[in-house]
Amino acid sequence: MHKFIDASNDEEVRFLQLWFSPNEKKLTPSYEDISCDVEQLENNLLPVISHTAYEGVAGIHQDLTLYLQLDGNKKQKDLHLYY
C-alpha cells in the first residue's frame, strides 16, 4: 500500500504515478521524479518519459515515449496522456 501526503498547506500538489513492465529481465527497479512547467504543458505535447532519457524526461526500459498535454482552453483543465 502506498500513501502520499501533501506536506504543504498552501500549495496544491498533483501526483501522477505510472508503472510499466521493462523490456529486459532482472533489471534493478528505479524511480524518477520530474517536474513539469504548467505553462509549457498548456496546449503543447511535452515528452515526460522516454527510452532515450534527457534533462526533464524520465528514462524507461521500454520502447515508448509518453507525452503530457494540459488543455488550457477549458474552465476545468484536463491533463491528457499520449504514447
Give residue limits of the domains in the chain.
1-23+36-83
What is the per-residue pLDDT for 46? 86
- Pick the more confident residue, 75 or 40: 40
For the purposes of burial, counting CB atoms within 10 Å of the CB of 58, is it exposed (0-12), middle (13-18) or buried (19 or more)?
Answer: middle
CB neighbours (10 Å) of residue 50? 17
Task: Decide if pLDDT at 79 tops 70.
Answer: no
* Contact status, residue 51 vs residue 63, Cβ threshold 8 Å: yes
Q: Phi, psi at residue 5, to the nearest 5°? A: -120, 130
0.75 exceeded by the pTM? no
- Pick the more confident residue, 82 or 37: 37
Q: What is the pLDDT of residues 28-71, one digit of tens each?
A: 888 888 887 778 888 788 888 899 878 888 889 999 898 888 77
